[in-house]
Structure 1
Amino acid sequence: MQDVFSAPGRFYRGNLHTHSDRSDGALPPEEVCRRYRAEGYDFLALTDHFIGIYDYPIVDTRPFRAPGFTTLLGAELHSGPMGNGDLWHILAVGLPGDFAPGNAPHFRPLPGQETGPEIAARAVAAGAFVAIAHPNWSGLTLPDARSLSAAHAVEVYNHGCHTGADRADGFGIADLLLTEGRRVSLIATDDAHFTEPDHFGGWVMVKAEANEPEALLAALKAGMFYSSQGPELRRIDITATTVEVQCSAAVTVIVQGQATAAVAVHGQSMTRASIRRDRFAASPWLRVTVIDASGKRAWSNPYWV
């Protein structure tokens, strides 16, 4: 994979998981888009629940695009039971407007309906970027995650699940998949409904040559992004002996790898950190976390070394 920091283009800030009153959100689509644009986001995916009680919406947000702000069509897909018996939640960004509904009239699984892995594979075949949504909130198991083989990414931070359930984290599942050789990327999102303070808390910074849907989708699928709650990642260089990180002012920089492999550097207003790779000799992948003085984090995608 090409390094995101040396790839052509610039970084664009976007949210990939958002709801409107076309499903269970509080605001109409136009107002959701207006608020994200006013907050300084470059793009937004409105991902209402693709389920029968809401008439299977893939909301056409194209009329709400404006200079410097674009939208991606998408939905949160539901079909078939996970291991705990609950319905799958699968994030699909870049869906065509005519993506065919399955048989999911409500939030309860039905015998014989399309499985989660099947609808995820169908979304990928239709051109979407697909992610396993809020694993901790869903009670997702590792066998569940393994079965969703078409997914590009794992949602490792969900701001709505943080504010509403204290179950924001998806790193446990993501790291286990990485350790098994699954080359997933890692996304942070809002899952905003505007019914509580669930917005503007987690986003992706996508490196693309243009703030246009096709370029953004291609970059997402290629892993050309990092995720953040505020801090900036500016460069990561992996040498034979060290991981060199450049970032906005941080108090902690951590390199994580397989199993117990993790090394942290602490300080005040650090914008550079160098971490030796000795601890990671047996790890085929590395990722970086940066934490600022307020506790906000930024996360790199995995590097396969």
Structure 2
Amino acid sequence: MLRPSAFTAPGRFWRGNLHTHSTRSDGVLAPEEVCRRYRDEGYDFLALTDHFIGAYGYPIVDTVPFRTNSFTTILGAELHSGAMANGELWHILAVGLPPDFAPSDSPGFLPKPGQESGAEIAARAVAAGAFVAIAHPQWSGLTLADARSITAAHAVEIYNHGCAAGCDRPDGAAIADLLLTEGRRLSLIATDDAHFSEPDHFGGWVMVKAEANEPEALLAALKRGDFYSSQGPELRDVAVDGDKVVVECSAAVSVVALGHGTGAKAVHGASMTRAEVPLQRLNDSPWLRVAVIDAAGKRAWSNPIWLR
């Protein structure tokens, strides 16, 4: 039986948002108020990731003063450098940056000749200890060639709530699945990308399995893939057992197993808390992932399980 590390690792699940903005860049609320709102909405941790460009003073916001005995923060930023295929600036999420991470030559939201590429700044962030994700692929207009170039990334945003609220472009699944099919061992994160200027908050999060709600433990668990992502539903266990995947979850109407190409199979029902999904229609995919959908249309996503 094969189970993702999120369901075998020691510890408990902690709820957190990894992509957030404040008045230190283009958000509406001050960092202290952003942290207060997430804390009082029941989140265990938050990464404030303001835009790392010269116009905002290359902020890596010190959120340490806003930690409590039940709420913590991880330092981070949304990095920008180099042009994608469409000529626009890269957006790369970096959680767990050191406070002295060196700025790129990125004065604003337009690419500049001679600056680092997206791949280079992502690799530099990983080398500095960060958990790095390709942000909002659909919103960015990311091509597969663009995504392939970010070889240092740990993850792809499978869902971005701010992009759902602001422009109906929240998806990262298509790019993620293509990268997985090419053998990239990536995890999948759901985020808010909250600016608090529209209903872009408390809509997508990660549930991280760690022994302590502390930045170092959470960051290490993120890098290992010891988490799942959600808009609401809970994943309680996922296990590949022979020719089926067995999923335990909060009440759902659909449980879906997805693999490469057209490989997918869904099981439907009412208030399902356990489902067995046969894998024959995954077309011998070397990987699979699970999506759970509740009666309100909210989803939860497992990280990919590598079968071989």
TM-score, scaled relative to structure 2? 0.98
Count of equivalent residues = 305
User: 2:107: which partner in 1?
Assistant: 105
For residue 279 of structure 1, report the CA deviation from its aligned partner: 1.8
Q: Which among 40, 43, 46 is matched to residue 44 of structure 1?
A: 46
Q: Which among 143, 146, 149 is matched to residue 144 of structure 1?
A: 146
Which residue identity does 2:300 align to in structure 1? A
2: CA distance, partners of 1:9 / 1:107: 40
Identify unmatched segments of 5+ residues in structure 1.
Answer: none
Deviations 1:251-300 (A, max 9, x none): 00000001111100111000000011222352000000000111100000
User: 1:244: which partner in 2?
Assistant: 246
User: 2:130: which partner in 1?
Assistant: 128
Q: Which among 176, 180, 183 is matched to residue 181 of structure 1?
A: 183
Deviations 1:112-148 (A, max 9, x none): 1111100000000000000000000000100000000
1: CA distance, partners of 2:299 / 2:137: 19
Which residue identity does 1:178 align to in structure 2? L
Which residue identity does 1:252 align to in structure 2? S
For residue 241 of structure 1, report the CA deviation from its aligned partner: 1.5
User: 1:289: which partner in 2?
Assistant: 291
Runs of at least 4 residues off by over 3 Å: none
User: In 1, are the aligned partners of 2:211 and 2:217 still within 8 Å (CA)?
Assistant: yes
Which residue identity does 2:258 align to in structure 1? Q
For residue 242 of structure 1, report the CA deviation from its aligned partner: 1.0
Q: Which among 160, 167, 170 is matched to residue 169 of structure 2?
A: 167
User: 1:31: which partner in 2?
Assistant: 33
Which residue identity does 2:56 align to in structure 1? Y
Please state if 1:302 is matched with 2:304. Answer: yes
For residue 6 of structure 1, report the CA deviation from its aligned partner: 1.6
User: 1:19: which partner in 2?
Assistant: 21
Please state if 1:205 is matched with 2:207. Answer: yes
Please state if 1:73 is matched with 2:75. Answer: yes
1: CA distance, partners of 2:180 / 2:173: 10
Q: Match of 1:4, SS?
A: helix
User: 2:120: which partner in 1?
Assistant: 118
User: 1:158: which partner in 2?
Assistant: 160
For residue 3 of structure 1, report the CA deviation from its aligned partner: 2.4
User: In 1, are the aligned partners of 2:253 and 2:269 still within 8 Å (CA)?
Assistant: yes
User: Superposed, which structure 2 residues align to 1:251-290 within 5 Å?
Assistant: 251-290=253-292
User: In 1, are the aligned partners of 2:263 and 2:283 still within 8 Å (CA)?
Assistant: no
Q: Match of 2:58, SS?
A: coil
Deviations 1:217-276 (A, max 9, x none): 000000000000000000011011210000000000000001111100111000000011
Deviations 1:21-77 (A, max 9, x none): 000000000000000000000000000000000000000000000011000000000
2: CA distance, partners of 1:2 / 1:256: 15
2: CA distance, partners of 1:69 / 1:163: 26
Which deviates more from structure 2 when the two are superposed, residues 24-33 or residues 237-246?
237-246
User: 1:54: which partner in 2?
Assistant: 56
Q: Match of 1:271, SS?
A: strand
User: In 1, are the aligned partners of 2:4 and 2:303 still within 8 Å (CA)?
Assistant: no
Q: Match of 2:281, SS?
A: helix
Identify unmatched segments of 5+ residues in structure 2.
Answer: none
User: 1:220: which partner in 2?
Assistant: 222
What root-mean-square deviation, in Å, do the aligned CA atoms of Structure 1 and Structure 2 show? 0.8
